[in-house]
Amino acid sequence: MSSSFVIACVGKPSAGKSSFLNAVTDASAKVGNFPFTTIEPNQGIAYYPVDCPCRAANGGSAAKESCKPRYGWCADGRRFVPVRLLDVAGLVPGASEGRGLGNKFLDDLRQADVLIHVVDASGTTDDNGRETKGYDPVGDIQWLRKEIEDWVFGNMERRWGGIVRRHIAVKASIVDTMHAQLAGYGTVRSIVQRAVDQLHARFGSMDLDKWDMERVRDFVRVFLDERFPTVVALNKIDMPDADKNIAAIVRRYRGPDPRDGVRAENIVLTSALSECFLRKMAKQKIIAYAPGDAEFSTDAPGLRPADERTQRRLDNISDLVLFRYGSTGVQDVIVRAVEVRGFVPVFPVKSFSVFPECILVRPGTTVREFARRLHSDIDRAYAGAETVGAIQLAEDDAIVAGKNNIIRFL
């Protein structure tokens, strides 16, 4: 797989994490309504759709024969780029203190670029993942963030005295000191810089040795917003009571600033089981359906008739999910997860008519950094780069989608 982008699918046991993974990948996670269905991280490949340059290179028509991606596929000028998806072990309140599978869960998060938090919008599982009725899922978002926050803050609190003494002794900048402490969370320096800048904008400049534990926790909160942006997948939207719970969650997170690490625009309504069923029926040639579609067809050429039970379920999905919400929402979650990070699709080419690879890179990645990532030989032999129209690119040019993200190295 060419892209290294990793999404962690998180949430309490039995919220539908494994069903979500099955809905967007061809992995087969264990599914069950009991705690710790998932013990080891299940891994699969999901796909992020981008516009493929094959259409422009082919005079505005999709190049069905010539566009053959090395990874993923191209359909009618849309390139489906692979991203890695993890369904990590179930989390329960108290995980930061070692309860449940908490230590393992939190350690698995280090691999992720972004989190998808699957929340049971129906209120039919309690905070420990056991079956119930009338549970308020608003709290699930809060305690997930609190467990991650307590995990990071607890690690810093225990070492804070030593951190400050070393900071003073070596006369380091706050960014350098905090990056050294947070590198174990898969953190790049730019993320720490943004967190420090936000803290200074809010409270003014303050020497690290004057930070109290309240200020340390404030820093941890803004750091987590930057390091682990979270997309909330409100799952089971076709279940009873889901509507009122969805309305309460949307009201709580409406506003310009993140709350509990969540922004309103990063909440997506989903029905993972509906998506799983539609994909299964499509494979069995009972319906014509593509992931993310707003409808399916039962009368397209070559389809088999559905039995009565199957037809009833298809009708329910059509009425309760597709008609009401426009789709199952599952593909929308993947799209939002990639876009919330601002990753840029880049097409390295030998010719501006063939596009075998598409690689997602972090925003701000320069042309030379991209050459280094592709291969050490390309970096060593670097003699320049150009984009469409023979436009020369500087080494330190940041790669921007639609501007210079089709690159040929000279």
Q: Tell me the β-bridge partners of 253.
A: none
Report in angstroms the alpha-carbon separations of 79 from 15, 300, 380, 387.
31, 25, 30, 19
pLDDT at 101 over 70: no
Does residue 358 contact residue 345 with C-beta atoms inside 8 Å?
Answer: yes
Does residue 407 contact residue 349 with C-beta atoms inside 8 Å?
Answer: yes
- What distance in Å separates the CA atoms of residue 49 and residue 8, rounded to the nearest whole number? 19
Q: Strand 406-409 relative to strand 385-387: parallel, antiparallel, unpaired?
A: antiparallel
pLDDT for the residue numbered 34: 35
pLDDT at 56 over 80: yes
254: DSSP letter: -
336-392 pLDDT, tens digit each: 999 999 999 999 999 998 899 999 998 999 999 999 999 999 999 999 999 999 999
pLDDT at 131 over 90: no
For 11-52, strand residue ranges (E) read: 42-51
pLDDT for the residue numbered 104: 65
Work out the pLDDT band at 272, boundaries 50, 70, 90.
very high
- What distance in Å separates the CA atoms of residue 400 and residue 393, rounded to the nearest whole number? 12
Token code pair at residue 247: 């309305």
Q: What b-and-e string marks burial along 88-103, b requiring 16 or more CB atoms within 10 Å of the CB?
A: bbbbbbebbeeebbbe
pLDDT for the residue numbered 66: 59
Does residue 148 contact residue 92 with C-beta atoms inside 8 Å?
Answer: no
Region 144-162: what's the mean pLDDT?
90
Containing 368, the helix (H) or strand (E) segment is: helix 367-374
pLDDT for the residue numbered 203: 87
pLDDT for the residue numbered 182: 94
Does residue 5 contact residue 113 with C-beta atoms inside 8 Å?
Answer: yes
Amino acid at 390: A
pLDDT at 263 over 80: yes
pLDDT at 16 over 50: yes
pLDDT at 30 over 50: no
pLDDT for the residue numbered 37: 37
pLDDT for the residue numbered 408: 96
Work out the pLDDT band at 29, boundaries 50, 70, 90.
very low
**Which phi-psi region, left, alpha or beta, contains residue 128 (left: φ > 0; alpha: ψ -120 to 50)?**
alpha
Give the residue, 91 or 229, on which the prediction is more confident. Answer: 229
Does residue 100 contact residue 129 with C-beta atoms inside 8 Å?
Answer: no
pLDDT at 60 over 90: no
Containing 191, the helix (H) or strand (E) segment is: helix 189-203
pLDDT for the residue numbered 339: 93
pLDDT for the residue numbered 387: 96
pLDDT at 3 over 70: no
Amino acid at 96: S
pLDDT for the residue numbered 380: 92
Q: What length does the chain have?
A: 410
173-183 pLDDT, tens digit each: 999 999 999 99
List alpha helices for 48-137, DSSP H: 54-57, 102-108
Does residue 2 contact residue 358 with C-beta atoms inside 8 Å?
Answer: yes
Place of tokens 């030989």: 377
Place of tokens 């420990």: 128
304-331 pLDDT, tens digit each: 999 999 999 999 999 999 999 999 999 9
Percentage, residues of the chain above pLDDT 70: 89
pLDDT at 149 over 70: yes
pLDDT for the residue numbered 274: 96
209-244 pLDDT, tens digit each: 999 999 999 999 999 999 999 999 999 999 988 999
pLDDT at 270 over 90: yes
Q: What is the mean pLDDT of the chain?
A: 87
Q: Look at the alpha carbons of 252, 258, 262, 268 in this order and tell me if their dihedral is positive or negative.
A: positive
pTM: 0.87
CA 198 to chain centre: 23
pLDDT at 35 over 50: no
DSSP string, 234-259: EE-TTSTTHHHHHHHHHHHT-SSS-B
Place of tokens 């390139």: 79
Q: Look at the alpha carbons of 61, 62, 64, 69 in this order and tell me if their dihedral is positive or negative.
A: positive
pLDDT at 14 over 70: yes
Report in angstroms the alpha-carbon separations of 358 from 69, 71, 225.
8, 8, 28
pLDDT for the residue numbered 28: 43
Work out the pLDDT band at 78, boundaries 50, 70, 90.
confident
Cβ neighbours, 10 Å, residue 350: 9
User: Mean pLDDT lowest for which of 30-39, 277-286, 293-302?
Assistant: 30-39
Q: What b-and-e string marks burial along 68-79, b requiring 16 or more CB atoms within 10 Å of the CB?
A: ebebbebeebeb
Containing 145, the helix (H) or strand (E) segment is: helix 138-170
- What distance in Å separates the CA atoms of residue 25 and residue 45, rounded to the nearest whole number? 5
For 182-275, strand residue ranges (E) read: 230-235, 267-269
Quick check: helix, strand or coil at residue 190? helix
CA-based nearest residue to 341, from 230, 253, 260, 256: 230
Percentage, residues of the chain above pLDDT 90: 60
pLDDT for the residue numbered 366: 97
User: Mean pLDDT lowest for which of 144-153, 266-275, 321-330?
Assistant: 144-153
Work out the pLDDT band at 39, boundaries 50, 70, 90.
very low
Work out the pLDDT band at 31, boundaries 50, 70, 90.
very low
Amino acid at 316: N
- What distance in Å separates the CA atoms of residue 9 and residue 116, rounded to the nearest whole number? 5
